[in-house]
Structure 1
Amino acid sequence: MLSTRQLRYFVEIAECGSFSTAAERLFVAQSALSRQIKDMESRLQTPLFERTARQPRLTAAGEAFLPRAKNLLTELNKASELATQVGNGQLGTLRLSHSSTVPMSGRLLRGIIDYLDQQPGVSMDIVKLSSEAQLEELAEGRLDVGLLRLPVLRQREGVQIIPLYEERLLLAVPPRHWLAVDNHAQGVDLGLLKDEAFISIPHPQRGGLSYLSAELCMRQGFFPKAARVVSRKTTQLQLIQAGFGIALLPESMQDIAPPDIRFLPLADPDCQSTVALACRQSPTALVQQFIQHIITPL
């Protein structure tokens, strides 16, 4: 089997037309260069050069071998560059998911756009999944990065969760709701919502925003009353618009909400929600690059 070193030596001699000049360019002794070419010819069982008094000339076999040797070296260089880029997280497809209450807007979307601008070799495949589904997909290796809202009730082995930023919660009400008409300059007191219908209530085995909302209401002495139609997805925006009920939603949901839904501030300053990033405990270089980039501006 010929070595890549021998291929390089052969191509350099052919292009220089001189063993001595090729040896200088390759920083090797001319005798060592000659031995490598003789070994190549022995393995190929045919001469590649005609040794003349003035300069070596390619034989017919050498002429046929030269373009293919160049192509092999070119492909090897490309493969090496590819491996380096993948290993450094500069090339590949990042499989990302987000929960319905972490919309692709605002600071998050700006961070993703900036990351892709700086990494032209990276593409992204984005899907929407619940927090629990994201953790399962991460644990099974079918997902690279998840974006979700805390709390998470069930953790998965081999998956880590990194808090990204805090976001205030707002009260989302239908267009003609009485709270939207009254003046609440200091923010709406959660205690006023005791008899209101909530279109998002906790699932017994799921955390996330609905779980946090219920926890905040219970601090005021009541559990949120379920509306006749409930949802934990972005469908809840349409349900609020249709007048089925109200919900505590993160500020960023305003970016994707129908224009006539009213978002009101809350009086309690502790009404905050945490957006977090989930990935495997030993992330790939591609995921590490993304995490480092997305954490910095957030």
Structure 2
Amino acid sequence: MELRHIRYFLAVAEELNFTRAARRIGIGQPPLSNQIRDLEEEIGASLFRRMPHGAELTQAGQVFLPEARAIVAKAEQAKALALRAARGELGRLRIGFTGSAAFSPIVPSSVRSFRRAYPEIDLTLEEAYTTRLLERLGAEELDAVFIRPGHADPPSFRSHTLAEEAMMIALPSGHPLAGAESLPLSALSGEPFVLFPRTAGPGLFDRIVAACRQAGFEPILGQVAPQITSIANLIAVELGVSVVPSAIAQIRVPGVTYIAIAGDGPVARLTLATRREERSAVVQNFIARVLAAKVELV
């Protein structure tokens, strides 16, 4: 039983005339009669009584009519849902982000814009460090991730650079240098650094270490913070100093002072990464929203 047979049946049932029904659906009357006859043979019962000037439904036809309408309605609904899914209006989106990325205005702005534009998408958020996010993206457990790469983008993924933030020095507020408006990075020579584990974000970690070496000193790696957003709390208790993305300066922890780096300091890149061959319309719509947020916030 094909859907067109059911549509032909409905046309005749509503017109109660084969000629008018054929005209309505755009085929000849004899082919329509043959299609209805094929349907009746498949069902095993007559659906119409042929009359001299029209047709009327048999008992079997009367019972079949509401079911046929339901089948066509369900088919139309399925078609509409499929089209919406193809446009990326239905489905799911799993977004990952690093702790420091969440403080960039691009991230909340783009997620908020996407949710408003596509309210029926099942959207979930997950915070993790860069290495873990890329692992989960590669395993297809996440669909798009905001990360802090180093100088190079992760080669296995498609990347969109969203921002390059100047980095800042973070000092205990009681530190002798805490009153300066800006400091060269070399002023931190001999100070113990509070940093996150390199495995959590090798790109950003290496960029900080490379900037210190370029300033003429090897950083003393002291207390390890479980993640970058924990650094401020450890500096507040005077366990060391650090260099952090400027977005982190929004974390106003008592006892911590943020100071601009004089001269050419390191920058922290914010990147959106997706799978290189990603074809999901949902993901493509999200990328478009992120890039739009980037333009609006520049």
Q: TM-score, normalised by structure 2?
A: 0.89
Amino acid at match of 1:91: L
Aligned to 1:183: 180
Aligned to 1:160: 158
Post-superposition offset of 1:274: 0.9
Compare 79-88 and 187-196 and name the one that shifted more: 79-88
Deviations 1:94-113 (A, max 9, x none): 11111222115522211111
Q: How does 1:168-247 map to 2 (within 5 A)?
A: 168-180=166-178, 182-184=179-181, 187-200=182-195, 203=198, 206-247=201-242
- Change in 2 beyond 3 A, CA 1:273/1:21: same
Q: How does 1:255-274 map to 2 (within 5 A)?
A: 255-258=250-253, 261-274=256-269
* Residue correspondences, number: 293
Post-superposition offset of 1:156: 6.3
Asked whether the equivalents of residues 172 and 249 of structure 1 are also in contact (C-alpha less than 8 Å), the reply is: yes
Asked whether the equivalents of residues 202 and 211 of structure 1 are also in contact (C-alpha less than 8 Å), the reply is: no
- Change in 2 beyond 3 A, CA 1:78/1:254: farther
Asked whether the equivalents of residues 196 and 225 of structure 2 are also in contact (C-alpha less than 8 Å), the reply is: yes
- Change in 2 beyond 3 A, CA 1:29/1:178: farther
Aligned to 1:289: 285
1:152 and 1:141 map into 2 onto residues whose CA distance is 25
2:15 and 2:274 map into 1 onto residues whose CA distance is 53
Q: How does 1:58-69 map to 2 (within 5 A)?
A: 58-69=57-68
3-state SS of paired residue (1:6): helix
3-state SS of paired residue (1:227): strand
1:92 and 1:22 map into 2 onto residues whose CA distance is 39
Q: TM-score, normalised by structure 1?
A: 0.89
2:125 and 2:257 map into 1 onto residues whose CA distance is 29
Deviations 1:69-104 (A, max 9, x none): 112112212222222222222211111111222115
Amino acid at match of 1:195: G
Q: How does 1:107-186 map to 2 (within 5 A)?
A: 107-151=106-150, 155=154, 157=156, 159-180=157-178, 182-184=179-181
Structure with the larger strand share: 2
Post-superposition offset of 1:282: 0.9
Amino acid at match of 1:291: I
Q: Percent identity?
A: 27
Deviations 1:202-249 (A, max 9, x none): 626851322221111111111221233533332222212332222222
Post-superposition offset of 1:192: 0.5
Post-superposition offset of 1:142: 1.5
Asked whether the equivalents of residues 94 and 142 of structure 2 are also in contact (C-alpha less than 8 Å), the reply is: yes
Post-superposition offset of 1:155: 4.4
Aligned to 2:14: 15
Post-superposition offset of 1:12: 2.3
Post-superposition offset of 1:14: 1.7
Post-superposition offset of 1:260: 5.4
RMSD: 2.3
3-state SS of paired residue (2:238): coil
3-state SS of paired residue (1:103): helix
1:146 and 1:236 map into 2 onto residues whose CA distance is 22
- Change in 2 beyond 3 A, CA 1:228/1:206: closer
1:202 and 1:178 map into 2 onto residues whose CA distance is 27
Amino acid at match of 2:262: A
Asked whether the equivalents of residues 97 and 127 of structure 2 are also in contact (C-alpha less than 8 Å), the reply is: yes
* Structure 2 gap segments, 5+ residues each: none
2:85 and 2:37 map into 1 onto residues whose CA distance is 37
3-state SS of paired residue (1:123): strand
Post-superposition offset of 1:59: 1.4
Post-superposition offset of 1:152: 7.5
3-state SS of paired residue (1:15): helix
3-state SS of paired residue (2:102): coil
Post-superposition offset of 1:134: 1.7
* Structure 1 gap segments, 5+ residues each: none
Q: Does 1:250 align with 2:245?
A: yes
